[in-house]
């Protein structure tokens, strides 16, 4: 895994899995946890959309 891939996926890997398992214990309020999950998923969706645009642009020759 390169440095850029780690930046693109900050929650990937063993540390991310442990963090996501511990987050409900760390954050006692369920609403805060739900908001945090929404933020993480939106960031991951933006990353994948950005990668799709990059691959399409490279196919077009930019």
pTM as predicted: 0.40
**Higher local confidence (pLDDT), 8 or 61:** 61
- Of 12, 50, 54, which Cα lies nearest the Cα of 1? 12
Residue 14: per-residue pLDDT: 64
Question: With contact defined as beta carbons under 8 Å apart, do 11 and 24 qualify?
Answer: no
Task: Sketch the domain layout of the chain as residue ranges.
Answer: 28-62
What tens digit of pLDDT does each residue of 8-60 get? Answer: 455 556 666 676 677 666 656 667 777 888 888 888 888 888 888 888 888 87
Rounded to the nearest angstrom, the gap between the alpha carbon of residue 52 and the centroid of all alpha carbons in its chain is 15
Q: What is the pLDDT of residue 1?
A: 47
């Amino acid at each position: 895994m390169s440095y850029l891939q780690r930046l693109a996926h900050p929650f990937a890997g063993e540390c991310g899995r442990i963090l996501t398992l511990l987050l409900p214990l760390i954050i006692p309020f369920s609403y805060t946890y739900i908001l945090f999950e929404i933020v993480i998923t939106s960031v991951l969706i933006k990353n994948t959309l950005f990668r799709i645009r990059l691959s399409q642009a490279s196919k077009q020759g930019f």
